Amino acid sequence: MKRLSIEHLINMLQESIIAEQTASDFYVYIAQKIQNGNIKRMFIKFGKEEAEKHKKLLNERLKSVTGQDYAPDLSKLDTDIKVSSFSLIGALKIAKESERKAIEFYEEAKKKDKLFRKVYDEIISDEKRHWLAIDKEKRFQGEKEEIFYEDEGTRLLCLLMQSWK
């Protein structure tokens, strides 16, 4: 395997910080909109983990390389995907897929950035726990639909679909 260049490492870490922030914003937004208390609590918890714990760990690694923290400006991200509504089941499906992609991303990052393996393992463990909890809730909810209409929320859903390339 090729040695990971500093530029590629920096780019990989910045992309992961953006994806973690987007996921955090998604979880918090959905939690504010839904009535289901279990999912609301789960999404708030996941949003805080993504924003606080994962971003902190990733920023520590980035700082060890660049000497500075990275704070992405998510308002500059945009998407040409336009939707006008989302459902609770749809949000759970998107969250589950996002967690799956995050696991794959960090598994690959762990192979490339061997100095940071233990931290990637910690993040992977969290992401797997998130995936399992979302999967369990999605199966429990079945096909119940709870539709929400709002532009900012649909923008976050679209951004989340684009995360974890």
Express each pLDDT in 53-64 by its tens digit.
Answer: 998 999 999 999
- The two three-digit tokens of residue 136, written as one number: 């369990």
pLDDT of residue 124: 95
Query: pTM of the prediction?
Result: 0.76
Domains and CATH numbers, the chain: 6-162 (1.20.1260.10)
pLDDT, average across residues 139-163:
56
